[in-house]
Amino acid sequence: MSAATIRLWDPLIRLFHLSLAGVFVANYFFNEPGDDWHTWLGYYVCAWLVLRLVWGFSGPRSARWADFWPTRARLAEHLCSLRHGRPFHRLGHSPLGALVMLQMMLAVAALGLTGFLMQEVDALWGVDWPMTLHSWIANGLLALVCLHVAAALYESLRLRENLPLSMITGRRLLPDMHGDEPPMLLCSPLPRKPVTSRAWLNLVLLASLSCVLLLADDFLQQLFTSNNRAELELGYGATLWLFSAALWLCNRRALVVAIVLLFVLMQLLQLGNISFFGEPLSAVDIQSLLNDSAEVRQTAMHSAAQHWPVLLCVAVPYGLLLALHLLVPTRVALPQSRWALVLIAVVLLSKPYRATYRNLDSFVASPSRSALHNSLNVFSAWAVRLAFREEVSLPPSPFAPYTLSAIPSSARHVWLVVADSLRSDRVGLFGYSRDTTPQLAAYLRDHPDAFARRGIAAGVATDVSLPYLLNPIREPGQDNLLRSGQINLFRFAREAGFRTHWLSSQESKLLAHLGSRYLDVSITREDHPLRFLQRQDRALLDILGQQRWADRNFVVLNLRTAHLPYAQNYRQESTPPPWPDQGPEGQSNAYDNSIHYLDAMLTQILADFDRLEGERYLIITGDHGQRLGEGGYWGHNDLVPEVSDVPVIVVAREAPSGALADFSRERWISHYEAGKWLAARLGTKIDNPNLRPNEYFVHGKLLFTDNFIQRVCESPSGLLHQPPQQLSVLLINPDTQCPPPS
């Protein structure tokens, strides 16, 4: 065999092959199922699959599907050669090799799908079949990998060539052909227009400039108003760059102009809403704008003098972007590919597709996200869920307005700690058989100015309970109060001279309807993704320790500690968990381990709190409870007692005597009562004329629209959970009351 070689495998194919092999070895043999590295490596390799799919149509000839697709004729020829011992030479994938490779790619895609179902679909949390299927596919992939490796070694010996090495170097030997030996098989070259390196450089520069222009409207608006609190998102920026590159590659100016003009319309509404209301637009807001279009036009005309910068912030970047796409392609050499249309379609249709199986609360806008990112989310949700549908008309709210009054407050520090999915009957200090919170119990024993009570969550989902906790509104159906921020703890704190802090180990989208316009400091998981990936909630405690406190501070800490999948929360810990999280009781034990891990987190938070000086108050609670296998169900989002059950722990330090007297006499403390008590510590008294003793409301999984509501009544024997009813029914019959205590 001669030493002549040919460059066969391009760099992308080699990286794809090495990535697939590396991720499979890491996830199958080393990473624990469900941990962060396992999950993110899975998503990483799925992204490679999508890229390989596109590359199979637009890459060099050895990478194209047409070159090696295992058709019936090709497979028959290959099998016939093997059966009769005839040589079968082919520079690219052999037909049988291609068949195994495609099966491996399908297996990896199926692993990504089943992994996504286990991690992201609430209805499947705790269900066994996705995990079982995931395991079967992984074992099947192992068998295919072994077959692939064995075939590569056999062919290397037969051809006297190191085939695995060729996938690293990209080069193959050209064997000498003698006698009757058939010629080496390779599809004839495909006619391609030569593309120079300068053309690719032009594409990179133009895509980068376009990406900057698509992000510029936020930063321009921030020069005129503090209402826009968008921050640069690395992942979103990378996606936007790929989308920008696809717009240049597709060579369809009419399509590009239509997309840019669509973005212009969305951004005018989005930035206008931010400028006027101080909050990003939601899908429900879009529907309201269309229903009251005349009033919107009139308001826009009268307020144009105050909000004219919106036009400038949209016109400048998008005008430049349109000019580039209209003028540059005729003057600058650029590569072209019709497959760029696939990427454009994936980006534009992924959000509407997601809206077909997710509710509106999954598309809430985040104040710290790019306005265009928020627009793609909320306009997709509106188009799929609300557009051209009869609007749900709710009866007017029958409840009397609240009265707010300023009261003296000498508090210097007010803290609220909210842990995800925290259920009180699994907390050791409430009598659970396992000592899941030994340090917290010891703290309460040593501090008589602190107490713990069972609590009642305001809602069954985080993006419902948090808005009602931080906007202490007891009665359902008062959406105007939620949207206006009139009764908001951050607002009360700002008005009383407190510095306001939101520190969260979860996504920034939770800030929707929490009063983000009144925040001085906002730090979420998206600000430090790698730190949170490595340290989970401990990263939040690091950030807490780095804060520089003002003379008066209102701090809200949002922990993820006990969220599904439970075992993922404490995998980074050096000490082994107290209870085994494998086997039939593994998931239940993992939840208890998460509470035990939370116990350590809360101990450190309390230590930081105790180091402060002056009058100070702290409340620890959960956003909602959790179903832990009762009736075969796991997770939350259901109006059942296990999901509305949360603990409430109250701490006062250097406070006036009797500061906790009235509060500590309560048998149960609802989120509304906790929020109202915190408002008083922040200098605002809330008088609610609708208040009825021993009556509470728990909201379903939707923040707005015709949600389901559950009335909870306090009795001497415990809490009575009435059957859930739709909000529209409750508003018509608001006089229904809890039965009097017997």
CA separation for the pair 183, 114 (Å, rounded)? 44
Is the pLDDT at 48 greater than 60, yes or no? yes
pLDDT tens column, 668-697: 999 999 999 999 999 999 999 999 888 999
Tokens of 616: 């100070």
CA atoms within 13 A on the CB side of 394: 18
pLDDT tens column, 264-319: 999 999 998 888 777 788 887 787 677 666 667 766 776 777 888 999 999 999 99
Give yes or no for a contact between 303 and 276, defined as CB atoms under 8 angstroms apart: yes
Percent of all residues in the chain with a pLDDT value above 70, rounded to a whole number? 90
Is the pLDDT at 718 greater than 50, yes or no? yes
The region of weakest confidence among 27-41, 209-223, 238-252 is: 27-41
Quick check: do 5-173 and 403-576+583-732 share a fold?
A: no
Amino acid at 494: R
pLDDT tens column, 192-213: 456 677 888 889 999 999 999 9
Q: In 3-state terms, what secondary structure has residue 713?
A: strand
CA separation for the pair 253, 354 (Å, rounded)? 28
Q: Average the pLDDT over 238-263 and give the result.
A: 92
**Domain topology for 403-576+583-732:** Alkaline Phosphatase, subunit A (3.40.720)
The pLDDT assigned to 291 comes to 65
Sequence-ordered list of residues with C-beta below 8 angstroms from that of 324, at least 6 positions apart, any chain: 206, 209, 210, 213
CA separation for the pair 529, 40 (Å, rounded)? 12
CA separation for the pair 621, 623 (Å, rounded)? 7
Tokens of 335: 């590569």
The pLDDT assigned to 530 comes to 81
CA separation for the pair 366, 370 (Å, rounded)? 8
Tokens of 565: 């999948």
CA separation for the pair 51, 20 (Å, rounded)? 13
Domain map (residue ranges) of the chain: 5-173, 197-385, 403-576+583-732
Residue with tokens 């092999």: 21
The pLDDT assigned to 220 comes to 93
CA separation for the pair 84, 81 (Å, rounded)? 5
For the chain, the average pLDDT equals 85
At residue 675, what are phi and psi to the nearest 5 degrees? -65, -40
Q: Average the pLDDT over 642-657 and give the result.
A: 93
Tokens of 159: 């051809």
CA separation for the pair 679, 406 (Å, rounded)? 10
The pLDDT assigned to 43 comes to 82
Give yes or no for a contact between 377 and 347, defined as CB atoms under 8 angstroms apart: no
Any bridge partners for residue 453, and if so which? 648
pLDDT tens column, 343-369: 899 889 988 988 887 777 678 788 888
Is the pLDDT at 30 greater than 90, yes or no? no
Between 131 and 550, name the one with better pLDDT: 550
The pLDDT assigned to 178 comes to 42
The pLDDT assigned to 2 comes to 47
Give 607-612's long-range contacts (Cβ < 8 A, gap of 24+).
608/541, 608/544, 608/545, 609/413, 609/415, 609/651, 609/653, 610/653, 612/412, 612/413, 612/549, 612/653
The pLDDT assigned to 561 comes to 85
The region of weakest confidence among 56-65, 107-116, 465-474, 570-579 is: 56-65
C-alpha distances in Å from residue 719, one per residue of 645, 702, 733, 735: 10, 23, 22, 20
CA separation for the pair 600, 536 (Å, rounded)? 13
What sign results for the dihedral spanned by CA atoms 705, 706, 707, 713? positive
**pLDDT tier, 187 (very low <50, low <70, confident <90, very high otherwise):** very low
* Burial (0-12, 13-18, 19+ Cβ within 10 Å), 180: exposed
Class of domain 5-173: mainly alpha
